[in-house]
Amino acid sequence: MEYYSEKISRLISELASLPGIGAKSAQRLAFYMLDCPKDKTEKLISVIRDAKENVKYCSKCFCLTDKEICPICSNPNRDAKILMVVESTKDMAAYERIGKFNGRYHVLNGVISPMLGIGPSDIKIKELLLRLQQEPVEEVVIATNSSVEGEATAMYISKLLKPAGIKVSRIANGIPVGGDLEYIDEVTLLRALEGRIIL
């Protein structure tokens, strides 16, 4: 980076500190920003600030939103009897995109990870239990990721809820649609076999 003058180097290294932006992309972005009209960078800046200042957690489901209560929680047409537990707002959006789930969500904003020092009290599990007391939920679908931490978190929540007599389910593991068996890992192959559906 020392081949650029200081203010350019600082811009490149600041951009390179963002997730998913490597040295080359940072350089490309920096020169784009230097070249583009000032309106463009000022718009980016105002959009970042506006989101940063106004986006908070929904007070019911804890997804990120610019409303006090998010549009899903405040929509009376969404089925309050089925609650999907996800790790993040991004995962909630992934299910919203398919448009086939009409229940509500609960966003944990993390997963239990002893490696990173994240315990059950650091994610929104207490808040989930509180909701289950207040809302007419009949089934909790756990949709945390299939990572070690996601599985452990699913297990933890399941053990917590089952004694309370709530129906708890977990989204299925299996072969991704279009996936080629020969490239799929052993654990997934096994889960797909165990979870086979009688035709």
**Site residues (vs its own copies, CB under 8 A):** 3-8, 10-11, 14-15, 18-21, 25, 27-34, 38, 41, 43-45, 47-52, 54-55, 64-67, 70-71, 88-90, 92-93, 96-97
Smallest separation (angstroms) from its own copies to the CB of 191: 26
Alpha-helix runs per DSSP H in the chain: 6-16, 23-35, 38-54, 89-98, 125-134, 148-161, 186-194
List Cβ<8 Å contacts ≥24 apart for 92-96. 92/61, 92/63, 95/143, 96/72
Contact present, 120 and 110 (Cβ < 8 Å): no
Closest CB to its own copies among residues 52, 196: 52
Smallest separation (angstroms) from its own copies to the CB of 12: 9
The helix (run of H) or strand (run of E) holding residue 142 is: strand 139-142
Closest CB to its own copies among residues 68, 138: 68
Q: Quick one: which of 49, 47, 15 has its CA closest to 29?
A: 15
Closest CB to its own copies among residues 27, 153: 27
Closest CB to its own copies among residues 20, 163: 20
Smallest separation (angstroms) from its own copies to the CB of 194: 31
Smallest separation (angstroms) from its own copies to the CB of 9: 9
Closest CB to its own copies among residues 41, 169: 41
Smallest separation (angstroms) from its own copies to the CB of 97: 6
Q: What span, in angstroms and rounded, lies between the C-alpha atoms of 185 and 142? A: 23
Contact present, 143 and 151 (Cβ < 8 Å): no
